[in-house]
Amino acid sequence: MSSEPGNSQEITQMQQIAQKLKESEERFRRIAENAQDLIYRYELVPQPRFTYVNPAATTITGYTPQDHYANPDLGFKIVHPDDRHILQELLEKKHFNEPVVLRWVKKDGTLVWTEQCNVPVYNEKGELVAIEGVARDITLRKQYEEEILKINAELEKKVQERTAQLQEINKELESFAYTVSHDLRAPLTAIAGFVTLLKQELSGNIDTNSESYITAITDSVKKMNKLIEDLLSFSRMSRSSMNYTRVDFAKMIEAIIQEITLMQNIHTQFKIGTLPVIEGDEAMLRIAFTNLISNAVKFSSKKEKPVVEIDSCKQNEKTVIYVKDNGVGFDPSLYDKLFKVFQRLHSEKDFPGTGIGLALVRRIILRHGGRVWAKSNPGEGATFYVEL
């Protein structure tokens, strides 16, 4: 008699647990029944068969849950023949934790892309007894991916075509500049020769006006020859091959300064900082920094105490070498013209030049995979930076 209340209490608890399990099962069934993804359970023992397939199967495959229950092989048959080896490999190697993408053939013959996630079910002996899984229709996503790939391929083709066109145009322009520069030399040589003969012919009988005319012609010929040399260098720089070596900038800059000092009567003070050793084409880099240092000397020459500073620093883990002067500087609003051919920011009367030097510097640095830029204000000098 004393045990009856306990038994009654246990029965009540069991009924409550059963009710909660039933409610939980109904709740999850409602979720599965209304899910847009295909949810299934496939038993492997005692014989292969579907024990649960939700209604989404009809929408995704065209086959009803009843069709799956009636045909245990349907899950394999709907897989596209070219993708069946993927499913076989998954089952053989038991790669259940990896999502698998398969093409299915619907009942009406149309193709649908699916992404499946499968979970293995083991019994108490550790034997695989069932597979539970979810399959999602990703056909639309695949269509978008294919469209993106198609667009990217078309863009890549257009970029390649445009690049080829630009390369061809550049080759033609370089060839034109090179040919014109060579063709201009012949008449200039002739003019210089005739001027020399004229001076000899008039030797001792030349008046002041005639002498000034001859001097003007000679200076113009020299200027034109320098322009042709610069044009040839600019054209040659994009066609010549690169010869990479370890370039000791300290030694190279020292040699450049000695050369400039010997060629020009200057009183510039040079301040040289710590300069790096970098891989590059020394001949090209020498041309670039000769131009930068020559410009710094030229544009600071009107100062009472001209100073040119050459040093290096690190920016974003890259080496930057800079050439700084205390000269006339330039207007930042004209910056876009700075590295273009024949663009001058100062009058030729004040600072003679061909207008090609900085364009040549930019081309050389770009060929080294670097960049060059400058900062300045009128009357405050200029600093040119080279990142290599």
> Does the pLDDT value for residue 227 go beyond 80?
no
Report CA Rg, the chain: 41
User: Which of 19-33, 139-153, 306-320 is the least confident region?
Assistant: 19-33
- Residue 260 within any structural domain of the chain: yes
Number of domains in the chain: 3
CB 191 within 8 A of CB 217: yes
CB 383 within 8 A of CB 375: yes
Going by pLDDT thresholds of 50, 70 and 90, the confidence category of residue 1 is: very low
- pLDDT at position 240 over 60: yes
Residues 304 and 292 in one domain: yes
Which residue segment(s) compose the domain that 205 sits in?
Answer: 139-239
> First-to-last CA distance in the chain?
97
Of 38, 46, 7, nearest to 115 by C-alpha is 38
Domain co-membership, 246 together with 345: yes
- Residue that finishes a domain, picked among 106, 137, 168: 137
- pLDDT for res 80: 96
Helices and strands (H and E) in the chain: how many: 10, 12
Residue 2 has pLDDT above 50, yes or no: no
pTM for this one? Answer: 0.50
Half-sphere exposure (CA, 13 Å, Cβ side) for 86?
Answer: 15
Mean pLDDT score, 127-137: 93
| Alpha-carbon distances, residue 316 vs 263, 279, 285 (angstroms) | 38, 18, 22
Tell whether 291 and 372 lie within a shared domain: yes
Q: What percent of the chain has a predicted confidence (pLDDT) above 90?
A: 47
Same domain, 214 and 261: no
CATH number at residue 281: 3.30.565.10
Task: Report the SS3 class of residue 364.
Answer: helix
- The residue from 117, 137, 157 where one domain ends is 137
Residue range 238-259: average pLDDT?
88
Same domain, 248 and 208: no
Q: Which CATH number goes with the domain that contains 173?
A: 1.10.287
- Mean pLDDT along residues 296-317: 91
Same domain for 179 and 316, yes or no, is no
Query: Looking at the domain assignment, is residue 29 inside a domain?
Result: no
Lowest model confidence (mean pLDDT) among 112-126, 180-194, 275-289: 180-194
- Averaged confidence pLDDT in the chain: 86
Question: DSSP 3-state assignment of 236?
Answer: helix
**Distance in angstroms (rounded) separating the CA atoms of residues 182 and 229:** 9
208 and 247 in a common domain: no
